[in-house]
Chains A and B, each alone.
Chain A
């Protein structure tokens, strides 16, 4: 037994933990949990916890359906919302096959595998997301259009205080769970908030994003409200994204930094960015995986649907933040298309693989785009070599299906399952009569 495992056992004993929740993530990025009692913890470390994979989307295969959840002792945290008299803790798990090999359907193992191949090239990969979300009075779609908390018609001041208070409580809880928050503020839209996490290594960050989404929703629920990361819940106002800052380190050195370059970008940064741009269309089905994701990308402000990069241009897909003198450590690029309904393990895997491909193949970075791409026509954009991202989930799936990079990065199992699952979602959507159609056609025809 490792020291980390001993430590967890000891903590569980000392703190009188009654329940240990084993967390893992399905292919679509939804958090799953199996609870065990402390008495079972030692054997969970030694042998894993066997469960039926078919019960969970993406974890199902025709034959041999049982898998093993192996708790990662380094992720043990006591849950700050557990009642004082009944403390409980959680650990993220890696999922193995019964023969001990990593299970192909486990997103966390997929990210581990991709980080390992970066490591073999000498790189460690860091990510920092800016999570946007809305607070609504309810999450029940049968009640009609969602009601933001701070556009209620009376007690405006009081109700807007409610959402700021929710955000504050959320931040305290995240910090108590060892998830440092860099900034947080009220976003543009009514009842829309943003929480920016401080960078950390990508596997930890993917775990953190899973925890963040749960904590945000949990705190909202305590106050009888509802929080959502749905990319575009309201017409006419900006949707929610999860802009993500990326950087690549080689030991102590930020490989993206080069003081002598006019943009402060190293050759590595240029090639990595070029890789992300070249493969952006292929990975969009994963970074923006809902039918609804493309409603956010269709609007014309914070969500850039054009494959281009720039330092200060909100219409570009990749932003290269301008740094203060001497801040070589903070060299990074920001990927702006991705939204909050993502599976962070898969999204980070693909962003990393696309960037590394740029490095290994020596891709050339196109020129910076300084025009406002929203003001150009399709033809004008094509003339300057700027392609649009896929305009719908359907188109994104078509592009992904042809992508060797996506298949290799995700592995055949998840690649094929994902396409199948999302094709079905698209087919359902196509057959569904939307309020748009009723409003527009019913009175006329």
Chain B
């Protein structure tokens, strides 16, 4: 699957959340070396680079990409409004930029636009796992070819879980990645929604979502084992 490289590591939480919600596959890199080490055989589909308080590191990373040290097709730069002037004479370092802090809808739109333009499939538009299929373009989910009627949060939770089969997530992680960091109501919300999702999946498929005792939840099994 086409993956994005994100700089720096750790990625700002709102960025991590936006990428996860958008269903992007991504990895964050602490420096140029680690981005090179982890590079997939076909290269990175794109890079999202955050120019923080000191944008120089970010520009160094961009330069490494442009010089071919890291194999990346397109670069989206996130930059703080106060540093806009530093973009002068550096237009060659990025393909598009977005003000940081960003609006999630704008960010998503820019990502999609950029990677379409670069001529690659933006991302997997369909998640399939066993009897489950989710079309991320139309927001529709089916189980054994029968439509699943989900609320928005149920849909987002299932999408997140089904994008990471086999991985165990704590309630806190699910809460922050799916609901957002400021969501009030606590980890119980996750239990309630998992139970609702299982109810809708039906008895036969309820066990697609497993409870991992005293840890959290996981979906299906990893395709790598």
Query: Which of A's residues lie within 8 Å of B, judged by CB?
Result: 3-4, 7-8, 10-11, 14-15, 73-78, 80, 119, 124, 126, 174-176, 178-181, 198-201, 204, 249, 251-252
Give every chain A residue within 8 A of B145 (Cβ-Cβ): none
Least CB distance from A20 to B in Å reads: 14
Query: Which of B's residues lie within 8 Å of A, judged by CB?
Result: 138-140, 147, 149-155, 171, 184-189, 192, 195-200, 202
Identify 6 residue pairs between A and B in the complex whose beta-carbon atoms are under 8 Å apart, listed by A's number: A80-B149, A124-B185, A126-B188, A179-B199, A199-B192, A201-B185
Q: A178-B200, A180-B199 are in contact. Are A124 and B151 (CB under 8 A)?
A: no
Give every chain B residue within 8 A of A75 (Cβ-Cβ): 151
Least CB distance from B105 to A in Å reads: 8
A80–B146 alpha-carbon span in the complex (Å) = 13
Least CB distance from A403 to B in Å reads: 30
Closest 10 CB pairs of A and B: A175-B199, A7-B152, A178-B196, A78-B149, A4-B152, A180-B195, A180-B199, A251-B186, A200-B192, A10-B139
Least CB distance from A105 to B in Å reads: 27
A252 B187 Cβ-Cβ under 8 A: yes
Give every chain A residue within 8 A of B150 (Cβ-Cβ): 178
| Closest Cβ neighbor of A250 among chain B residues | B186
Give every chain B residue within 8 A of A126 (Cβ-Cβ): 188
Across the interface, A8 reaches (CB within 8 A) one of B138, B152, B192, namely B152
Across the interface, B154 reaches (CB within 8 A) one of A174, A178, A204, namely A178
Across the interface, A14 reaches (CB within 8 A) one of B140, B154, B200, namely B140
Other than the known A7-B139, A178-B197, A200-B192, what 10 A-B pairs have Cβ atoms closer than 8 Å? A76-B151, A77-B149, A124-B184, A175-B199, A178-B151, A178-B200, A201-B185, A201-B189, A251-B186, A252-B186
| Closest Cβ neighbor of B155 among chain A residues | A7
Give every chain B residue within 8 A of A249 (Cβ-Cβ): 186, 188
| Closest Cβ neighbor of A8 among chain B residues | B152
Give every chain B residue within 8 A of A199 (Cβ-Cβ): 192
A252–B197 alpha-carbon span in the complex (Å) = 21
Q: A7-B155, A73-B152 are in contact. Are A178 and B199 (CB under 8 A)?
A: yes
A198 B195 Cβ-Cβ under 8 A: yes
A176 B149 Cβ-Cβ under 8 A: yes
Q: A7-B152, A77-B151, A78-B149 are in contact. Are A175 and B188 (CB under 8 A)?
A: no
Least CB distance from A73 to B in Å reads: 7
Q: A3-B152, A252-B186 are in contact. Are A14 and B199 (CB under 8 A)?
A: no
- Choose among A119, A200, A204 the residue with the greatest number of B CB atoms under 10 Å from its CB: A200
| Closest Cβ neighbor of B184 among chain A residues | A119
A296–B151 alpha-carbon span in the complex (Å) = 38
Give every chain A residue within 8 A of B152 (Cβ-Cβ): 3-4, 7-8, 73-74, 76
